[in-house]
Amino acid sequence: LLNDTVGRNYLKSINDMCSHALKDKINSDF
């Protein structure tokens, strides 16, 4: 259970980083 929670948080933080990077890239393109 603990491992599952850690994995979920890890995936969520990766997703957050990806969306922030994507937004930054889009913003810098315009």
Average pLDDT over residues 2-26: 90
- Give 1-30 as a DSSP string: -HHHHHHHHHHHHHHHHHHHHHHHHHHHH-
- Mean of pLDDT over the chain: 87
pLDDT of 26 reads: 84
pLDDT tier at 21, thresholds 50, 70, 90: very high
Q: Please say if the pLDDT value at position 30 is more than 70.
A: no
Q: Please say if the pLDDT value at position 1 is more than 70.
A: no
Rounded distance, CA 8 to CA 2, Å? 10
pLDDT of 27 reads: 84
